[in-house]
């Protein structure tokens, strides 16, 4: 661990130094103006990168085409320095401009300071990554950028060491790319940071991690955050030695321009050439405006601290250094500062004008329509007031427009005239436009969308042998690994032993450790490793050993992966497949089925629940032909059940969102999925002995759910609905009922109230009896379905017990 000190020789030209200074001042001015815009009501919230301008400019100088950033929401100067953010775009994002040309990162969907570059074209297809500077899309949760950072760096390792990937030059040039991470000092207390740092050290990946240390986390000083009050000292055990790999750890002062250049040059060279991770602890950072527009740092910083921050502001110190080195005169620097401030103000004015002009156009249109409707109505005065209130809005928003139109039409209900119809038609058209701006692109809309893959039925012959279900999966993974060098699998115990249920047995020996890889026990960064690799064009299969362990990674899945296409307005994607196994096994922590949590948390991903390993194989084939992220939950108690291997295993595919009727019936429709399919089928057979013919439908996928509305077609015949699953009451069953009864209007065909049969509202107790009394069993399904029919026809189905 070392601290870089300034040398007398300048590492860059005088012209470049002055350009750097002008950019720093312009970025600072943007922060100062941005705060005022929030207080004026023109933006909702502001969080800015003031105080970090000089170190970020230094970092940017060693960021090459093909490199990747995974940072946090104070990196505006860095993004400007690499040419991926203009000051006008900075303000467009602050105003939440929904035009993707104005805010390329997110089309107004992400808060200000959340940056991304677009690596997909308008059709959702990959653009070349090696001819441009790249930034993965930011998220707000502190340290949430860390898991993805690991994957971005790990991809370089794979591209360098797996020679079969050499042809993919649009994504990597022999693994020469470095992943740059940034984080605030307080956020290094998060587990995501520590897990990522440990994994990066183990994997030895090209990662340069910058910690901006301003001594606080909002109002909380460093002594409450970090042992030894220094992240570099706390991580000193990670420092590499002659005989032990690890990190290169460097410290540098945020206001020392030359030392910053030397430090970043050294770190990036080490990382790029030797694939050694580096930590740069940037100390003595100031925060001129405090944390954000939500409060003032004068409330918690001492007078001495505030005075010190003024003196050691990085821009002020850079100016003093420039004057001392006689690079420019004070008068020349005054001119530069003036030009920079003018540029920032002009960028703000232009961004606001372009943002507000479209809204004002809609305001003028709707006011005109409202006023015309007022003239023709009996409520002229009341409606005219609506138009007047909208006209006086200082900073009108689209919601104001919709509210005004709807308020007018409510007053006009029951009346019929052309002007009202014109307003109503305009409202419908504008609502569709706004819906596209705010509610589109949750899933892939490209030609490679998983929803475009059609079913290729499994084919069987008398020669197809019965094998354990795990062998079907093994054959599927064997084929996928063979046909595509981009595909690799990794997770706890996946490598040498081929996973705990043998789905990858023997495949590491066949394809090598780069293709089938063991990891440590670190679910969050397993997911992050997959996200980053998928962003860079690879096709990872990340394994979470058990469904219960998904909770470790749910934040990364929910906040990062599931929102990626949405929050970038289709500008980024990460077609990661997460493989796990769940439902029934033994005990409180190995039998979970938290499907309601998953369904509510992972909108933006597909959730697939195959009942056996053949169905799972069909889904893997489908997903590998598509570009959507997905979670595949295999049935934990099905690996050793016998299945017949399809003759066309390599071509067999299952369309997503298409249920399968496992048993036809006329008395009741039972919808289920996963492991409970076997329970329900046995119960249905027993019910048949009592004269009750149940139609059993395997939903197969929960997101998407029943696209052809097959279940409603069944209800037209049976008029009764039962949902069976292993989640708690009101978990996944609530979602399924909403889809069937509300979305698909299934309520119209019911003659009895719908019935749900779920697990008990606790984790399963240990042992076979614990499983039996905690989860749906054959007898329970039989009894409740029989009771449903008995209520309708007690003579035919008399009480049993």
Task: Select the more confidently predicted residue: 258 or 461.
Answer: 258
Reported as a pLDDT band with limits 50, 70 and 90, residue 221 is confident
Beta strands in 359-410 (DSSP E): none
Residue 724 three-state SS: strand
Average pLDDT, the chain: 95
User: Strand pairing of 134-135 and 2-3?
Assistant: unpaired
Q: How far apart are CA 158 and CA 486, in angstroms?
A: 9
Reported as a pLDDT band with limits 50, 70 and 90, residue 6 is low
Distance of CA 418 to the CA centre of its chain: 46
Per-residue tokens: 781? 């399904």
Span 469-492, mean pLDDT? 97
Span 325-340, mean pLDDT? 97
Reported as a pLDDT band with limits 50, 70 and 90, residue 590 is confident
Which positions are annotated as active-site residues? 590
pLDDT reported for residue 145:
98
Reported as a pLDDT band with limits 50, 70 and 90, residue 3 is low
pLDDT reported for residue 5:
55
Reported as a pLDDT band with limits 50, 70 and 90, residue 459 is very high
Reported as a pLDDT band with limits 50, 70 and 90, residue 7 is low
Give the rounded percent of residues in the chain with a pLDDT score beyond 90: 91
Q: Give Cα separations from 212 to 84, 183, 216, 285, 699 (angstroms).
A: 21, 6, 10, 7, 49
Q: How far apart are CA 103 and CA 91, in angstroms?
A: 9
Length of the chain: 801
pLDDT digits (tens, 9 = 90+) for 761-788: 998 899 889 999 999 999 999 999 999 9
Listing DSSP states for 106-155 in one string gives TTT-SPTT------B-TTSPBPPSTTS-EEPPP-SSTTTTHHHHHHHHHH
| 8-state DSSP, 759 | -
Tell me the pTM.
Answer: 0.96
Per-residue tokens: 47? 């969080």
Which of 390-394, 456-460, 461-465, 637-641 is predicted with the least confidence, judged by mean pLDDT?
A: 461-465
Which of 286-290, 425-429, 565-569 is predicted with the least confidence, judged by mean pLDDT?
A: 286-290
Residue whose entry in the numeric block shows the structure tokens 């994002």:
93
Distant-in-sequence, close-in-space partners of 114: CB < 8 Å, separation ≥ 6: 73, 93, 105, 106, 137, 138, 139, 140, 567
The answer to whether 489 touches 516, Cβ cutoff 8 Å, is yes
């Amino acid at each position: 661990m070392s601290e870089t000190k300034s040398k007398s020789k300048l590492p860059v030209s005088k012209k470049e130094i002055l350009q750097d200074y002008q950019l720093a001042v312009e970025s600072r001015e943007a922060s100062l103006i941005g705060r005022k815009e929030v207080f004026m009501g023109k933006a909702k919230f502001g969080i800015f990168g003031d105080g970090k301008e000089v170190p970020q400019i230094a970092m940017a100088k060693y960021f090459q085409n093909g490199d990747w950033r995974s940072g946090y929401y104070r990196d505006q100067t860095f993004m400007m320095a690499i040419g991926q953010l203009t000051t006008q775009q900075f303000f467009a994002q602050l105003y939440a401009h929904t035009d993707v040309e104005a805010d390329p990162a997110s089309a107004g969907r992400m808060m200000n300071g959340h940056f991304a570059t677009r690596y997909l074209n308008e059709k959702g297809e990959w653009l070349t990554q090696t001819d441009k500077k790249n930034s993965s899309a930011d998220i707000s949760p502190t340290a949430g950028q860390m898991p993805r950072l690991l994957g971005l760096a790990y991809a370089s390792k794979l591209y360098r060491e797996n020679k079969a990937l050499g042809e993919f030059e649009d994504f990597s040039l022999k693994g020469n790319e470095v992943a740059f991470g940034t984080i605030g000092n307080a956020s290094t207390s998060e587990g995501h940071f520590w897990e990522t740092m440990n994994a990066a050290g183990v994997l030895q990946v090209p990662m340069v991690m910058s910690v901006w240390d301003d001594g606080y986390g909002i109002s909380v000083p460093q002594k409450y955050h970090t042992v030894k009050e220094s992240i570099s000292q706390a991580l000193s055990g990670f420092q590499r030695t002659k005989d032990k790999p690890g990190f290169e750890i460097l410290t540098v002062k945020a206001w020392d321009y030359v030392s910053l250049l030397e430090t970043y040059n050294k770190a990036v060279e080490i990382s790029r050439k030797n694939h050694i991770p580096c930590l740069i602890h940037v100390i003595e950072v100031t925060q001129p405006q405090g944390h954000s527009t939500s409060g003032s740092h004068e409330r918690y910083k001492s007078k001495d601290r505030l005075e010190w921050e003024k003196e050691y502001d990085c821009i002020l110190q850079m100016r003093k250094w420039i004057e001392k080195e006689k690079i420019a005169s004070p008068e020349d620097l005054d001119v530069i500062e003036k030009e920079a401030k003018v540029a920032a103000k002009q960028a703000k004015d232009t961004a606001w004008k372009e943002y507000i002009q479209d809204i004002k156009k809609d305001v003028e249109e709707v006011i005109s329509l409202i006023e015309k409707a007022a003239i023709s109505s009996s409520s002229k005065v009341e409606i005219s007031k609506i138009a007047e209130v909208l006209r006086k809005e200082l900073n009108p928003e689209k919601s104001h427009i919709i509210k005004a139109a709807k308020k007018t039409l409510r007053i006009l209900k029951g009346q019929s005239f052309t002007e009202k119809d014109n307003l109503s038609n305009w409202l419908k058209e504008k609502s569709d436009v706004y819906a596209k701006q705010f509610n589109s692109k949750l899933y892939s809309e490209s030609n490679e969308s998983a929803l475009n893959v059609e079913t290729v039925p499994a084919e069987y012959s008398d020669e197809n042998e019965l094998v354990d279900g795990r062998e079907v999966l093994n054959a599927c993974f064997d084929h996928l690994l063979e046909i595509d060098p981009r595909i690799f699998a990794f997770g706890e115990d996946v490598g040498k032993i081929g996973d705990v249920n043998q789905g990858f047995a023997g495949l590491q020996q066949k394809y090598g450790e780069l293709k089938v890889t063991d990891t440590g026990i670190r679910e969050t960064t397993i997911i992050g490793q997959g996200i980053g690799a998928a962003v860079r064009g690879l096709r990872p299969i990340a394994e979470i050993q058990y469904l219960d362990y998904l909770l470790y990674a749910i934040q990364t899945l929910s906040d990062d992966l599931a929102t990626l296409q949405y929050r970038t307005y289709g500008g980024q994607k990460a077609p990661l497949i997460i493989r796990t196994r769940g439902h029934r096994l033994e005990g409180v922590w190995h039998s979970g089925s938290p499907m309601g949590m998953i369904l509510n948390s992972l909108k933006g991903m597909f959730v697939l629940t195959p009942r056996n390993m053949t169905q799972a194989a069909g889904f893997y084939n489908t997903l590998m032909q598509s570009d959507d992220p997905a979670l595949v939950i295999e049935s934990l108690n099905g690996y050793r059940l016998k299945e017949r291997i399809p003759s066309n295993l390599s071509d067999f595919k299952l369309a997503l969102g298409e249920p399968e009727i496992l048993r036809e019936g006329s008395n009741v429709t039972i919808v289920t999925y996963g492991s409970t399919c076997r329970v329900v089928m046995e119960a249905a057979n027993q019910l048949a002995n009592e004269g009750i013919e149940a139609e059993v439908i395997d939903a197969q996928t929960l997101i998407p759910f029943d696209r052809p509305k097959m279940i409603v077609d069944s209800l037209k015949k049976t008029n009764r609905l039962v949902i069976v699953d292993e989640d708690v009451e009101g978990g996944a069953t609530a979602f399924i009922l909403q889809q069937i009864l509300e979305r698909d209007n299934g309520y119209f065909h019911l003659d009895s109230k719908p019935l749900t049969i779920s697990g008990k509202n606790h984790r399963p107790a240990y042992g076979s009896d614990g499983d039996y009394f905690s989860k749906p069993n054959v007898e329970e399904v039989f009894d409740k379905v029989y009771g449903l029919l008995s209520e309708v026809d007690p003579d035919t189905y008399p009480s049993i017990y």
